[in-house]
């Protein structure tokens, strides 16, 4: 999965990058925050997408905050690695309780 505002990557790579949305505005207007009544619905949706698509790595380009992932998936559920200055890799830990409904 690639989280970025640069939507042309799927065209360049000629494959789906499994993005959840087209853009990440950075002002909490596109995704429910923890105080929002839709937060748990969105969190379950994101986790289900990761499971169903068998995503093992999530890459985030620095034009998007990591909170777009970590607001919904605890840091204990990923292993973060800096790939380049503007690219981070988050390896998914499928044994994490987030994937089994035990938050």
- Indicate whether 102 pLDDT > 60: no
First to last CA, the chain: 23
Mean pLDDT computed over 19-29: 65
pLDDT value of position 21: 67
| Number of domains observed in the structure of the chain | 1
Which of 14-28, 34-48, 54-68 comes out lowest in average pLDDT? 14-28
pLDDT value of position 80: 94
Range of the domain at 91: 2-100
Question: Are 17 and 55 within 8 A, CB to CB?
Answer: no
38 contacts: CB under 8 Å, gap ≥ 6: 32
What is the band of 89 on the pLDDT scale with cuts at 50, 70, 90? very high
């Amino acid at each position: 999965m690639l989280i970025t505002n640069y939507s042309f990557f799927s065209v360049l790579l000629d494959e789906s990058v499994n993005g959840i949305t087209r853009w990440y505005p950075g002002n909490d207007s596109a995704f429910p925050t923890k105080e929002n009544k839709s937060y748990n619905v969105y969190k379950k949706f994101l986790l289900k997408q990761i499971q169903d698509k068998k995503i093992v790595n999530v890459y985030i380009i620095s034009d998007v905050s990591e909170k777009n992932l970590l607001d919904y998936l605890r840091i204990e559920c990923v292993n973060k690695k800096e790939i380049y200055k503007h690219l981070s890799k988050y390896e998914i830990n499928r044994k994490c309780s987030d994937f089994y409904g035990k938050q």
